[in-house]
A and B are shown apart, each in its own frame.
Chain A
Amino acid sequence: MRIGSYQLKIEKRFSLTSWQAASISIVAVIVALILFSFIFIFAGINPLVAYREIFSYSFANPFGLPLTINRFIFLLLVTFAFIIPYRAGLWNIGMTGQLYAGALSAYAVLYVLGIKATTEMHLSPAIIIPLMLIASSLGGAFLGSIAGFLKGRFNVNEIVVTMMLNFITFWLVSFMIKEGGVFMNPGGRGESFELPPSLHAPLILNIPFTIFIALGAAVLLYYMFAKTKIGYQIRAYGENPAAASYAGISKIKIPLLVFIMGGILAGLSGYHYFAAVPGVYKIARNYGFFGDLAFYGIICGLISQGNPIAAIPVALLFGGLSVGGRFVQGKLGMSFGVDYALLGVLMITLVAFQFFYRYKIVWVKISKESLDVGIPH
């Protein structure tokens, strides 16, 4: 494009600071909201009203805000489950299965302790809750380790393995909680037995304590990647496996380790949603919904470029918009799926804007001579 003696040109970026990356993402979010406002306009709704409803419900409403925060914790944990293998150049598509495994393991602790049949407990919640946390971590880690082991030892594609394990665990959950399953609710409503109130995860200001696990993980992971030996090994393997092997970094150990770490965090997200979010406290009939939601961990991880700190605002935004989108759909009488459409548009725009991570558009002054080309003297 040419205006006067200036021309628009696409240039390759040689470096990108984290501030530049952040501002590109913010612009992308604004562009996505502008694009989505056409949907509201076509539905005969003033987009400004719609957005005010969305944001005020998800971030300033006494009913909406806790929903947003619970989604945020969940998304942040699954984002980390994606990010850790991602930094090693591996794709964890199995957060869904890992969180199911985590939830099942947590409930298995209760089942073994006989808490399904009776609310009488021989152990104090101060012991049982940590046991549940450990169990859900181990459950997620176990499922993750299958993909990590197969990748490291036999170079089996980790995407295929994690994806297949998602299907297996989905039906395993169904087998456990539906007709005749060992975790079946005595009322037989296609869901698991409920947690006794004393085992509900402690709330701080009405927020489950799992938020500290999620935020603590953000800090720890950031430190791990930036400073520690293991973080260095993971990054080196992710950037160039051949060079990592040359430097003595085990190509068997690293995939296994990142999938175990990712699995732990995904397992904890299973604990979070099925044992810590107020009003749930069971493996719900619609557990598949949370499994699907876990896929947003991939998007959040990609947008934050594998940076655990940057993942916090991204997960908060996606959590809030998924809650607010569902709300305006009901409130403004729109058709089903507004929340998914909104997240979809946001996702596509953010991914499209990654172009600007690698290129920039600049105005260049055209030199006199080349303007004269083609003009006869």
Chain B
Amino acid sequence: MVIKESKLGETVLEARSITKRFPGVVANDKIDFEIKAGEIHAILGENGAGKTTLMKILFGEYQPDEGEIYIAGKPVKFRSCLDAIDLGIGMVHQHRKLVPAHSVIENIILGHPRAGKILNMNRAEDEIIELCNKYGFSIDLKAKVWQLSEGEKQVVEILKALYRGAEVLILDEPTSALAPTETEKLLDSIQAMAKDDLAIVPFITHKLPIVLKISDRVTVLRRGKVVSTIDTENATERSLAIEMVGREVIFRIEKTKVEKGKTILEVEDLSAISDKGLLALNGVSFSIREGEIFGIAGIAGNGQQELVEVLAGLRDAEGGKVLLDGKNITHSSSLDRWQSGIGYIPSDRIHVGSISDFSLVENTTMNYYFDDDYYRQGALDYSKIRKLTEDIIAEYGVSTPGPDTTAKSLSGGNLQKLILARVLSRNPRLVIAHLPTQGLDIGATEFVRNKLIEAKKEKAGILLISEDLDEVLSLSDWVAPIYEGKFMEIIPGDDCTRENVGAMCAGIYLDEDQP
């Protein structure tokens, strides 16, 4: 393998003047990029800046329209990922590509050239355990992948790439689905890999603190072009943010005070069973008034999904009551809830919040097909819905060729804007926003948060469920850390600190908060 021979600090992988066009967009525009041995090189950019396209080109999934790739100084052409893998490039995708029913070790050896001939599980196991020890991964090789947490699945993907002989490891948004402790562990392992073994790690993210903490160099992309490549020690969170979005971004939103009105939502002792048959939501009670944001902080998998689904009418409550404007809606259908003024923004915007192959007009219709104002002579008034969609595109700045393009052509941020706009345009009494800014870049995040604040000013009640502590703390009038299906406490927004809420999300009370 060519890369193995390179010395610390030498350029091992280089892309020169890479251009990749898709119908209507130039995803990568003359990108120059290089990785040195032993380096952690972060690639930073907003959604749609061309990060993923560049990574896919480096991994051989896409072929560039123009430009060349060099490995250890020699020009190479990847016909497919296999070529890239053979030359020592490994990729860990943002969306997992594992076989859930198989064990960890089976997933790791799947596709390995040696696995096709004679399966020597014991030898493979020894080798993988050696890899684990070297980089500080701890994982049960016999466990089935479906039993693992997101962080553990990521470890499996990394091990799979390393076991296949990867020397350049591409990680796409590696920390997006991880709990804070898992993130820490992963970062340690990444550093171990970079230091010990010349493993080289381009690190794609839009989490600025992580970039600053771990990377040696950072390349900032904007609209398919390289804005700059600098040594991380010369960068600050603020300077990178400005380069990434091209303008100043307000990090903290001043909490808007709105006069509180009547109680909109009352939840009493609500519990629910998860898909796996466990009591995932275990007796929560709270209420939300007009003009109030109620924030639920917590790590994914502590009952948030079940709570949201019960409130949206997509899951049966096991016990307890839900009252909307004093009316018991515990057992009403999700359509009834839409019509009585609940607007729900789901966390999975691709598979739940939108229909990929439908046009934007048809996606807007998802929240309007039941609305009598959008009927004409027994049929849906598509021209009126089209007008509404055009208004949404204009007002929210959804970047798209037009209302007839399909939803799958939108980037994550634009899709979220469309969903948000569609829901908020109904002027809902209660907005349920589940992970509304997950995976979005800074510009889109700021936009979404401001829109939620606008809705709050217009007397809507807002239930915000987020894993981003800063988001919950900066927006909410009430903060409820959730842990194992229960609220640890309900704290007024002004009284909580990052530390005590963070500790409660992890299931512990700091001493002074002990009730």
**Residues from chain A with Cβ under 8 Å of B314 in the complex:** 245-246
CB distance from A309 to the nearest CB of B (A): 17
Question: Would you call B271 an interface residue if the criterion is a C-beta within 8 Å of the partner chain's C-beta atoms?
Answer: no
**Residues from chain A with Cβ under 8 Å of B353 in the complex:** 243, 246
Q: Quick check: A243 and B380 within 8 Å, CB to CB?
A: no
Q: Quick check: B355 and A243 within 8 Å, CB to CB?
A: yes
**Residues from chain B with Cβ under 8 Å of A244 in the complex:** 355
A246–B313 CA distance with the chains assembled, in angstroms: 9
Of the four ranges (under 10, 10 to 19, 20 to 34, 35 or more), the interface on chain A belongs to 20 to 34
A248's contact among B338, B354, B356, by CB below 8 Å, is which? B338
B356's contact among A232, A240, A250, by CB below 8 Å, is which? A240
**Residues from chain B with Cβ under 8 Å of A229 in the complex:** 369-370, 375, 379-380
B23's contact among A14, A235, A242, by CB below 8 Å, is which? A14
Question: Would you call A239 an interface residue if the criterion is a C-beta within 8 Å of the partner chain's C-beta atoms?
Answer: yes
CB distance from A122 to the nearest CB of B (A): 39
A246–B336 CA distance with the chains assembled, in angstroms: 12
CB distance from A151 to the nearest CB of B (A): 19
Q: Quick check: B369 and A227 within 8 Å, CB to CB?
A: no
Question: Would you call A236 an interface residue if the criterion is a C-beta within 8 Å of the partner chain's C-beta atoms?
Answer: yes
Beyond A228-B379, A228-B380, A233-B369, is A246–B358 a contact (Cβ under 8 Å)? no
- Give how many B residues have a beta carbon under 8 Å from the other chain's beta carbons: 32
What does the 1/0 interface line of A242-278 toward B look like (CB < 8 Å)? 1111111110000000000000000000000000000
A249–B333 CA distance with the chains assembled, in angstroms: 9
Most buried by A among B334, B338, B367: B334
What does the 1/0 interface line of B326-339 toward A look like (CB < 8 Å)? 00000001111110
B334's contact among A14, A232, A236, A248, by CB below 8 Å, is which? A248
Q: Name the interface residues of A202-250: CB closer than 8 Å to any CB of B.
A: 223, 227-229, 232-233, 235-236, 239-240, 242-250
Q: Quick check: A240 and B369 within 8 Å, CB to CB?
A: no
**Residues from chain A with Cβ under 8 Å of B348 in the complex:** 242
Most buried by A among B312, B362, B380: B380
Binding site secondary structure of chain B: loop
Q: Quick check: B378 and A243 within 8 Å, CB to CB?
A: no
B333's contact among A227, A243, A250, by CB below 8 Å, is which? A250
Residue of A nearest to B314 (CB): A245
Q: Quick check: B380 and A236 within 8 Å, CB to CB?
A: no
A286–B366 CA distance with the chains assembled, in angstroms: 48
Q: Quick check: B351 and A242 within 8 Å, CB to CB?
A: yes
Residue of A nearest to B378 (CB): A228
Q: Name the interface residues of A121-168: CB closer than 8 Å to any CB of B.
A: none
Q: Quick check: A240 and B23 within 8 Å, CB to CB?
A: no
Binding site secondary structure of chain A: helix
**Residues from chain B with Cβ under 8 Å of A250 in the complex:** 333, 335
What does the 1/0 interface line of B317-347 toward A look like (CB < 8 Å)? 0000000000000000111111000001010
A168–B337 CA distance with the chains assembled, in angstroms: 42
**Residues from chain A with Cβ under 8 Å of B370 in the complex:** 229, 248
**Residues from chain A with Cβ under 8 Å of B344 in the complex:** 246
**Residues from chain A with Cβ under 8 Å of B396 in the complex:** none
What does the 1/0 interface line of B345-386 toward A look like (CB < 8 Å)? 010100111111110001001110110000100111010000
A249–B355 CA distance with the chains assembled, in angstroms: 13
A232's contact among B23, B336, B362, by CB below 8 Å, is which? B362
CB distance from A313 to the nearest CB of B (A): 25
Residue of A nearest to B379 (CB): A227
Q: Quick check: A242 and B352 within 8 Å, CB to CB?
A: yes
Q: Quick check: A236 and B355 within 8 Å, CB to CB?
A: yes
A240's contact among B338, B355, B365, B367, by CB below 8 Å, is which? B355
Q: Quick check: A243 and B351 within 8 Å, CB to CB?
A: yes
A236's contact among B346, B351, B366, B382, by CB below 8 Å, is which? B366
Beyond A248-B333, A250-B335, is A243–B379 a contact (Cβ under 8 Å)? no
Most buried by B among A14, A229, A247: A247
Most buried by A among B346, B348, B366, B370: B366
Q: Quick check: B382 and A243 within 8 Å, CB to CB?
A: no
Residue of B nearest to A228 (CB): B379
**Residues from chain A with Cβ under 8 Å of B23 in the complex:** 14
**Residues from chain B with Cβ under 8 Å of A233 in the complex:** 369
B369's contact among A14, A243, A247, by CB below 8 Å, is which? A247
- Sample 17 A-B pairs with CB under 8 A, ordered by A number: A223-B379, A227-B379, A229-B375, A229-B379, A236-B369, A239-B358, A242-B351, A243-B351, A243-B352, A243-B353, A243-B354, A244-B355, A245-B314, A245-B334, A246-B312, A247-B366, A247-B369
Shortest beta-carbon contacts, A-B, top 4 = A248-B335, A227-B379, A247-B366, A248-B334
20 more contacts with CB within 8 A, not counting A240-B351, A243-B366, A250-B335, are A228-B378, A229-B370, A232-B365, A232-B369, A236-B358, A239-B357, A240-B355, A242-B352, A243-B352, A246-B312, A246-B314, A246-B344, A246-B353, A246-B366, A247-B367, A247-B369, A248-B313, A248-B333, A248-B335, A248-B338
| Chain B interface residues (CB < 8 Å from chain A) | 23, 312-314, 333-338, 344, 346, 348, 351-358, 362, 365-367, 369-370, 375, 378-380, 382
